[in-house]
Each structure stands twice: as structure tokens, then as C-alpha cells.
């Protein structure tokens, strides 16, 4: 069992770390406060090839191993978690297209998605259906060689830039169980009837848009059916969310890492009663607790990522990593804020933003309570072991 990165992974991490320190850390707080879209950062990620993380090499991507995939989200989130969201939804969609798309669909989209010339996201959630995807109401009616889509999607990251936008629909609304009638259609950005109606205000997770998308009589050719076969949309979406949970776990590690760095630096520099506050035992205990939580979350995330690289089904492992790392991120951000005292509540310090970004990690890609049920059922059914 090897707990170290190989030379290639270490070089990749160091390259990303340098990029984040140069291009993201100096501007994140001001750009988030102003609502400025991070165009220059996106261009930098294109230059690094990061939009091709989940695209196989034969289609022009990096074809990155899953540990390197996790490293990318950890390092970017250390600088600004919202930026990782731009890359996250894109990567989940690319993974799904690479795994389930027809050869024609892969050839059409993946090369340009790998370079960032195209970007994408994934439209699953609806106003009345989040975790319960089988409850979606968006339909796609077959009309000759086309499908006609009607419905509304919510919380769609990259909605204003996605081309194509994969949309989860019901091609057979009467199917029982419901997932047998669900499919994914690839909707090009310029398709009539596809409209981004509004941006949704958020506590944190700034830098990328989260939108409501309305589809009104959107007509797409049957060749845009992902994989070319109806009724597989739910399985296609869930398989891609395994990587999504790895990226959420890794983002959580990035938040925890930044919380640790900010707390440590402040404890060294801030004085009270004539000495650095890091000399006080109460502060030392909090710093130690942050460090333990951070490293535990990191190791669990890398473990889950390595299991995926081993080629095994790892929905249990990714779920466990996402649950644990997300909760440690919030705990670390909270302790870092306490170490900062009143300044931790100020928008002039980074920990305030970390505290706002961290809660989303326990919600995104399946809420932690739902994932606990998924993990428990797998263990009880003998589909996963911890030995």
C-alpha cells in the first residue's frame, strides 16, 4: 500500500499549485465580491489542458488517472472553490460522454471539449426533484426522427456556456420503475427553445453561475440520444456521479487545506497579551484538530480515487470519501474562523469565504444523509467491504 504520489502526479500537483498561487489566490476575494466572471482563469485552465482531465487521450484529452483528477480539484479549490465548479460539471459530463456516448458523439464533441473550445455541464436537477432524480418531470416526446423536450432544470452549473448540455429526460413517462423510461439527450447551445432564464443567488459557490434552464418544445435529432438507446439515462448519470463525488471530496480537501494555511499563518502573526496567539494551548488544540481532519480527509479521498484507478466499482468508496471530507471541510473552516476571532467574520479575510463555500460540499452530488443510506445498503448487502 503506497500513500505517496508518483513523480508524474507530484509534477502535476506542483504545476497546478503554482498556477493557483499566481492566477487565482491574488484575485479570488475581490472578484467574488464584485461578481466578476473569472474569464482569465478559465483561459489559464484551458492552457493547462484541465478541461481534458476526463477526456481520453485518443480524443485529445489528458486521460488523467483519478488521483490526478482529485489533485486538480483540491488545488483549485484551495484558491477558489467556485472555479473548481466550472471544471467539475464539465468533467462529469465529459466522463459520461466518453463512457456512454456513441462513436459519432465522441468524435463530434470530445476533441473540442478537451481543449475548452467547447464547455459543458449536466442538467439533472429540477425544481421538485433533486436527490430523487426519478421524480423529474422533463419529458422528451418522439416525433419522427426527432425528440421534442419540455421541462425546467435548476441549479445548472455552466448553463450559459454549455455546448452541448446533456439533459436528463423521461422518454417513457409511464415506465415502472421510473428509471427504465429515463434517457439523456445532448442539446446544442443554439437549439431553439433552450433558454437560461435566471441566475440563482447563493450563499457561497461564487465565480460560476448556477441557473434555471427552461426547455420549451426543444427539438433535437434522435442522433443526440446519449449512447443511442433509450432507457439508460439514469444509469449513465449515476455512473458519472461517482467521479463527481471524488471531485466534491477533493474540493473539500482544498477548502480544508486553505483553512489550515490561514489559521496557521494567523496564529503565528497575531499577538495578544504580548505573545503570538499560537503560544496559547487553546489555539494549539484547534490547529492540531484542523491538521488531523485535513490529512484524514485527504487520505480517504486519495484512497477512493485509487480504487477507481484499480477499475473496481467504487460508488461506496466515493460516497464515503465525499461524506467524510465534506464534513471535515466545514469543521476546519469553522475552527479557522474561531482562531481569527472577530477578523474571521470580516470579508477582508479569506476564512469568511471558506466558511460560506464549505456547506455546499455536504449537499452537492447527493446529500450526505442520502449517501449514508447508499453506503449502509451496500455494506449490508455484502457489495462492499472495508478489509
Widest Cα–Cα separation across the chain? 80
Distance (Å, whole) CA 199 – CA 206: 11
What SS3 class is residue 361? helix
Asked if 200 and 211 count as a contact pair (C-beta separation under 8 A), the reply is yes
Asked whether the beta carbons of 328 and 252 are under 8 A apart, the reply is: yes
Phi, psi (degrees; rounded to nearest 5) at 86: -60, -45
**The three grid cell numbers given for residue 82, joined into one nine-digit string:** 467556485
Task: Give catalytic residue positions.
Answer: 365
The whole-angstrom separation of Cα 306 and Cα 72 is 15
Note the Cα 127 to chain centre separation in Å. 20
In whole angstroms, give the CA distance from residue 227 to residue 100: 5
The helix (H) or strand (E) run that includes residue 152 is: strand 146-157
Cell of 218: 426543444
CA 260 remoteness from chain centre: 21
Tell me the DSSP string of 261-295: HHHHHHHHH-EETTEEGGGSHHHHHHHHHHHHHHH
Q: Under a CB-based contact definition with an 8 Å cutoff, are residues 295 and 268 in contact? A: no
Amino acid at each position: 500500500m503506497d500513500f505517496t504520489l508518483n513523480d508524474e502526479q507530484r509534477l502535476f500537483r506542483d504545476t497546478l499549485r503554482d498556477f493557483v498561487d499566481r492566477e487565482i489566490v491574488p484575485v479570488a476575494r475581490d472578484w467574488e465580491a464584485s461578481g466578476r466572471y473569472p474569464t482569465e482563469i478559465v483561459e489559464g485552465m484551458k492552457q493547462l489542458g484541465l478541461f481534458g482531465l476526463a477526456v481520453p487521450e485518443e480524443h485529445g484529452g489528458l486521460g488523467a488517472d483519478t488521483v490526478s483528477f482529485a489533485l486538480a480539484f483540491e488545488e483549485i479549490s484551495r484558491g477558489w472553490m467556485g472555479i473548481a465548479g466550472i471544471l467539475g460539471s464539465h468533467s462529469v459530463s465529459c466522463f459520461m460522454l466518453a463512457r456512454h456516448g456513441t462513436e459519432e458523439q465522441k468524435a463530434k464533441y470530445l476533441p473540442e471539449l478537451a481543449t475548452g473550445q467547447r464547455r459543458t455541464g449536466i442538467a439533472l436537477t429540477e425544481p421538485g426533484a433533486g436527490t430523487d432524480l426519478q421524480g423529474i418531470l422533463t419529458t422528451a416526446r418522439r416525433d419522427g426522427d426527432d425528440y421534442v423536450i419540455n421541462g425546467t432544470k435548476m441549479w445548472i452549473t455552466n448553463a450559459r456556456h454549455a455546448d452541448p448540455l446533456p439533459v436528463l429526460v423521461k422518454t417513457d413517462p409511464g415506465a415502472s420503475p421510473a428509471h427504465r423510461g429515463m434517457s439523456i439527450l445532448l442539446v446544442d447551445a443554439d437549439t431553439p427553445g433552450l433558454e437560461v432564464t435566471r441566475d440563482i443567488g447563493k450563499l457561497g459557490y461564487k465565480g460560476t453561475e448556477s441557473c434555471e434552464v427552461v426547455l420549451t418544445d426543444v427539438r433535437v435529432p434522435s442522433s443526440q440520444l446519449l449512447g443511442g438507446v433509450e432507457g439508460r439515462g439514469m444509469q449513465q448519470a449515476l455512473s458519472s456521479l461517482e467521479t463527481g463525488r471524488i471531485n466534491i471530496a477533493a474540493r473539500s480537501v482544498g477548502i480544508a487545506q486553505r483553512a489550515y494555511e490561514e489559521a496557521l499563518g494567523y496564529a503565528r502573526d497575531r499577538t495578544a497579551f504580548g505573545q503570538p496567539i499560537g503560544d496559547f494551548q487553546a489555539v494549539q488544540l484547534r490547529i492540531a484538530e484542523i491538521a488531523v481532519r485535513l490529512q484524514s480527509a485527504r487520505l480517504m479521498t486519495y484512497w477512493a480515487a485509487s480504487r477507481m484507478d484499480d477499475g473496481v466499482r467504487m460508488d461506496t468508496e466515493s460516497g464515503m470519501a465525499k461524506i467524510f471530507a465534506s464534513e471535515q471541510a466545514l469543521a476546519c473552516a469553522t475552527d479557522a474562523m474561531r482562531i481569527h476571532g472577530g477578523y474571521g467574520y470580516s470579508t477582508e479575510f479569506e476564512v469568511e469565504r471558506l466558511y460560506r463555500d464549505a456547506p455546499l460540499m455536504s449537499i452537492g452530488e447527493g446529500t450526505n444523509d442520502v449517501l449514508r443510506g447508499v453506503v449502509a445498503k451496500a455494506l449490508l448487502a455484502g457489495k462492499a467491504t472495508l478489509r
